[in-house]
């Protein structure tokens, strides 16, 4: 099996490639290495993968917005599975930099869809987001919830990905799986995420910004649980199914991937404090534009289909992240 992972220098992409390479899968990774956050961290991920691989992994610096280069890559490789994790991330960043999201998350995503169609890829998997649920009050977030009221452009692009992918699956019978990720965290994580900022600031005796006084719920999901689910999904593409309120039987599925155990942000901060043996210096702030009060994944479909079982508690996950953080930034691992 030959797999293409876009966004392979990103957080989830890096861990997925690592797991696939360890499982002796042939992987090609692509990434544009943009500077949305620390480029050195992305390069460290790539260096780790390069050192680990046994001639079953290749990386190319390539932007999915570049149609011609993308087509050349597909012409030279027959991919059994394409996993699109390349996207401009970040809810707040999308408010100030909307064009970046249109380019990467819409134009780039369409380019990938075209390649999957043109070169008859067996299974297409793509990253969506829990952000598509917007301000819904139906808890936990179910796949039956309405998701047509996004409150950020980032969320709107992710919802657009879902409907674009469905149309291609329906029209061209492409086996397609979309994944709504819920607050993924862990080693080599994204520095723009709250948990990363909190650990850095508390460790350095700096102020942390706590929105809505910490009265928010998040379904934090450890990266290893995400990758375990992805590996199962890769090997089991969806079959044609009847889609509700339609005549379509496209081989298309959407799943929530979360921990199914949301915790309050204040509790999350407390766990970090206990692991660092330091108290946070807090600056309480109101809710930010585009943010949501709670995320909570209903993962029953993923359990029923793949026997998915997230194993990592928030206590163990934070402990592992902080251990990596201290080693990476204060040790000799870079």
Q: Which residues are catalytic?
A: 154
Q: Can you tell me which residue has the tokens 């699956």?
A: 169
* 88 close to 102: Cβ distance less than 8 angstroms: no
Alpha carbon 239 to its chain centroid, in Å, reads: 24
DSSP codes joined into one string, 121-166: -SEEEEEEEGGGGTT---SSB-TTS-----SSHHHHHHHHHHHHHH
Residue carrying the six token digits 């079953």: 56
CA distance 207 to 211: 13
Give the residue among 61, 60, 47 at the shortest CA–CA distance from 18.
Answer: 47
Torsion 196-202-208-210 (CA) sign: positive
**Which residues are bridge partners to 283 per DSSP?**
209
Q: At 213, list the tokens.
A: 């006084």
Contact between residue 257 and residue 179 where contact means Cβ atoms under 8 Å apart: yes
Q: In whole angstroms, what is the distance from residue 117 CA to residue 132 CA?
A: 25
Residue count (the chain): 334
């Amino acid at each position: 099996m030959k797999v293409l992972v876009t966004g392979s220098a990103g957080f989830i992409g890096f861990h997925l490639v690592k797991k696939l390479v360890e499982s002796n899968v042939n992987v090609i990774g692509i990434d544009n290495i943009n500077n949305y956050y620390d480029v050195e961290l992305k390069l460290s991920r790539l260096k780790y993968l390069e050192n680990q691989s046994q001639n079953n992994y290749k990386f190319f610096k390539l932007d999915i917005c570049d149609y011609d280069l993308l087509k050349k890559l597909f012409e030279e490789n027959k991919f059994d599975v394409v996993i699109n994790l390349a996207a401009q991330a970040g809810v707040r960043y999308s408010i100030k930099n909307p064009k970046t999201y249109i380019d990467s998350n819409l134009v780039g995503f369409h380019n990938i869809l075209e390649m999957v169609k043109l070169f008859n890829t067996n299974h297409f998997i793509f990253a969506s987001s829990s952000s598509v649920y917007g301000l819904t009050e139906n808890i936990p977030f179910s796949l039956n919830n309405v998701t047509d009221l996004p409150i950020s452009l980032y969320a709107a692009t992710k919802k657009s990905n879902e409907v674009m992918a469905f149309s291609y699956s329906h029209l061209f019978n492409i086996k397609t799986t979309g994944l709504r990720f819920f607050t993924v965290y862990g080693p080599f994580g994204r520095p723009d995420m709250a948990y990363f900022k909190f650990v850095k600031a508390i460790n350095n005796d700096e102020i942390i910004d706590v929105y809505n006084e910490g009265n928010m719920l998040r379904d934090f999901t450890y990266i290893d649980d995400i990758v375990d689910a992805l590996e199962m999904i890769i090997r089991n593409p969806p079959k044609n199914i009847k889609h509700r309120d339609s005549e379509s039987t496209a081989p298309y599925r959407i799943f929530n991937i979360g921990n199914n155990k949301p915790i309050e942000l204040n509790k999350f901060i407390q766990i970090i404090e206990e692991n660092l043996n330091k108290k946070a210096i807090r600056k309480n702030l109101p809710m930010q534009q585009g943010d949501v009060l709670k995320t909570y994944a209903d993962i029953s479909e993923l359990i029923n289909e793949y026997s998915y079982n997230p194993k990592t508690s928030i206590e163990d996950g934070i402990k592992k992240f902080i251990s990596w953080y201290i080693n990476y930034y204060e040790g000799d691992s870079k």
